[in-house]
Amino acid sequence: MACMMIVGVATDARPRRLIELCGLPPAGLAGYSESAAWPLWLAPGAERGTFAGTVNEEFVNEDFEFALSADALRHSESFKWSHYPADVLPLWVADMDFAVAPSVLEKLHARLDQSIGYAPHAADCEFTRLLRAKLERQGLVDLPANGWIKYLGNVVSGLYATVMALTAPSDEVITFTPIYPPFLTAITDPGRVAKHVALAATPNGYQIDWKALEAAVTPATRLVLLCNPHNPTGRVWTRQELTRLAEFVERHRLWIITDELHADLTLDGTFTPFTAVASPAVRERTLTVTGPCKAYNTAGLGIGALISHSTTLNARVAKKTVGIAAHPSALAVTMWQATLEDDGAWLAAVLKQLRSNRDYLAAFVREKLPGVKYLGSEATYLAWLDYRSHPRAADIQQYLLKTAKVALNPGPHFGPGNEGFVRLNFATSRTILAEALDRLAAAHVPVA
């Protein structure tokens, strides 16, 4: 198999797994100078301080054939693939260009052969027992016997309900930017004040700026919105970072909601639920939202869950959804239960594909897109690309759409100060990804 050799300097002391397959590190500073300190893995046989890795030019999954062709994806029922003209490759909306897991499809087809009434999702039903067991395996433990969960039609409604239940108009809500756009609208739509704490881009990836976080707090601050793992940077927050954040929340007596929707898409490192490191007092002030749709590629079957160790807090927030947020559909419940009963082989194959695609992307950016920076993705299938040195940085998303015929998400949608950034979705076939990247390279204007 043909490979490209990548060599650089590595000084990061954080532990990293050795290269799997032929892969680049997830957090390589693509586009930085050769002398930059890279948080890279050591290749087998290499000495610390040097890195030698390779990136596959193509990847074939031997267990599942789930990467769909552009012809199969481009149909009128796909918002992602029908929004732009047919000559545009859409690497924007956060769903994967993969076929759904066979076990999930089988359960959905079987459900359609039955009557389609309301689905059970009480605390003592099999579905909820399976979900609780999975959360416990991930580290979200010691939940009460009842009252700990409220099922939702989607995760975003949980963000909105939390803001409306725990804050008043003109109260301040902290979030870390860049951030998934509904985090911002969940704050501003009901008339709250968004306090944006910009993540710091460092040689070790994006980090929380603790000084800026402390400076953002005022007597009007009530709530923190956390994305763990983070969309769009792909950071997997460490236990140390989450512990420090929990201490901050307790010290200032804030509420916090953590969106852990992308937990199953952890590519490197270990996902840690926020409540796993929180004190009992902070647990009582914490809500978690999660769901299966990102990892199992079922975004069209919206479902989510609002979870808390405090039954009083969960009931307080859930009350804001009554009559507004729909119950999950019967098919959505069937889908989620099917993912909980799945043996994990399909998801493991997806993660393998995503790691390979990410590594290919990192190498391509560094070699073929001079001036563009990519700090890597430890989780999700999203890449946050820094085009600020590009002559067309001010309108880079539109420039790439019109010139390269590649649709990406514009940086300003993810909060102020993100002009010159774009978000790229690499959860697609290697054929589509390579074609899109080649188009970006052909349209690229090198920095002088």
d(C-alpha 259, C-alpha 163), whole Å:
13
Q: Classify the phi-psi angles of 142: left when phi > 0, otherwise alpha if psi is within -120 to 50, otherwise beta.
A: left
- The yes-or-no verdict on residue 25 having pLDDT over 70 is no
Q: What mean pLDDT comes out for the span 225-249? A: 98
Listed in sequence order, the DSSP H helices in 24-74 are 70-73
**Which pLDDT tens digit goes with each residue over 311-367?**
999 999 999 999 888 889 999 999 999 999 999 999 999 999 999 999 999 999 999
Percent of the chain whose predicted confidence (pLDDT) is above 70:
85
- The yes-or-no verdict on residue 284 having pLDDT over 80 is yes
Q: What is the pTM of this model?
A: 0.87
pLDDT at site 326: 80
Q: What mean pLDDT comes out for the span 296-301? A: 96
To the nearest whole number, what is the mean pLDDT of the chain?
87
305 burial level (CB within 10 Å; 0-12, 13-18, 19+): buried
pLDDT at site 65: 79
pLDDT at site 118: 86
CATH of span 3-99+345-442: 3.90.1150.10
pLDDT at site 203: 87
pLDDT at site 343: 95
Domains of the chain by residue range: 3-99+345-442, 118-341
On the question of a common fold for 3-99+345-442 and 118-341, the answer reads no
Contact 246, 226 (CB under 8 A): no
117 burial level (CB within 10 Å; 0-12, 13-18, 19+): exposed
Burial 8-47 (b: 16+ CB within 10 A, else e): bebebeeebeebeebbbbbbbbbbbeeeeebbbbbbeebe
In the numeric block, which tokens belong to residue 94?
A: 């956060």
Contact 65, 303 (CB under 8 A): no
**Who contacts 105 (Cβ-Cβ below 8 Å, separation ≥6)?**
none
Task: Kindly tell me the number of DSSP H helices and DSSP E strands found in the chain.
Answer: 14, 17
- The yes-or-no verdict on residue 20 having pLDDT over 70 is no
Contact 313, 324 (CB under 8 A): no
Q: For the chain, what is the largest distance between any 2 Cα atoms, rounded to a whole number of angstroms?
A: 65
pLDDT tier, 436 (very low <50, low <70, confident <90, very high otherwise): very high
d(C-alpha 353, C-alpha 66), whole Å:
10
- The yes-or-no verdict on residue 7 having pLDDT over 90 is no
Q: Which CATH architecture has domain 118-341?
A: 3-Layer(aba) Sandwich (3.40)
Between residues 268 and 48, which one has the greater pLDDT? 268
pLDDT at site 63: 66
